[in-house]
Amino acid sequence: MNSHLPASLTLSFTGFSQRGGCTDHHADGWGIAFFESDDTTPGKGVRHFVDKESAATSPIAQMLRSYPIKSHNVVAHVRKATVGEVRLENSHPFVRELWGRYWVFAHNGDLKDFSPMLHGAFKPVGNTDSELAFCWLLQELNKSHSGVPSVEELTRTLRELVPRIAKYGTFNFLLSNGQALWAHASTKLHYVLRQHPFTQVQLKDEDLSVDLAELNGPEDRLAIVVTEPLTTNEDWVAMEPGEFKVFVDGSLLV
């Protein structure tokens, strides 16, 4: 999620977490990271929860379904293990620091024979292809910029770097540094933009409908990016293979 104002992910996470072993087979761990702000450090703080249990049964996930953490940027993931064992250190999203900000990354897919040289401060803790790709991306971003780049500069560099990983397999991912949310589709990603006037939505994975107008005001605006649509009655946009998008303040940055 990427939002103009701090927003709760309770509704979307309720449906999303059911895909971690209940309505889908991604039961090999899960995780979520919330960027939070205060008056002195906008978007820098991160609450990070991961578990090797399935999201459908995890007590931590149950707590988050009822605890309305508000954030501008959220990255969540339910895992189906392809590379790397079912361990806590292999659960997405992964978190690293670069230029005095936290970066959060989650990957859906499988990379074959991807073994780049890592020679800086970014090294994997676990043994997934996903964390390796994240470390390489941050290493190359750091090499490409001498100072702290803007979102537009970061987007241009990422557009050059991402195809160099995507050629090794399926590289659907979400990436955020608290300022923006970047999304790349190799095979399947969908997004929806929500803004005033808000309507009633029906969750796909649970028998639950919610009137978004009761939860949001005229200034609220947010983007949700997922593998499969979370609701049955919204205009979800399917990203094309190879498409790369960036969302800022709840809007699509062209």
Pairwise pLDDT comparison (75 vs 57), residue with the higher score: 75
CATH, domain range 2-253: 3.60.20.10
pLDDT tens readout for residues 60-104: 877 777 777 889 999 998 866 565 566 888 988 999 999 999 999
Confidence of residue 159 (pLDDT cuts 50, 70, 90): very high
pLDDT tens readout for residues 114-123: 999 998 889 9
User: Residue 54 pLDDT > 80, yes or no?
Assistant: no
- State the DSSP code for 205: S
Evaluate whether 106 touches 74 at the Cβ level (below 8 Å).
no
Per-residue model confidence (pLDDT) at position 42 = 60
Per-residue model confidence (pLDDT) at position 21 = 45
Q: Where are the domains of the chain?
A: 2-253
Residue 142: phi and psi, rounded to 5, are -65, -35
- For residue 112, give every residue at least 6 positions away whose Cβ sits within 8 Å of its Cβ, in sequence order, or none: 168, 169
pTM of the model: 0.87
Residue 98 to residues 124, 181, 184, 251: CA-CA distances in angstroms? 15, 16, 20, 24
Describe the crossing of helices 129-144 and 151-166 by its angle, rounded to 10 degrees. Answer: 130
Q: Please, which residues bridge with residue 204 across strands? A: none
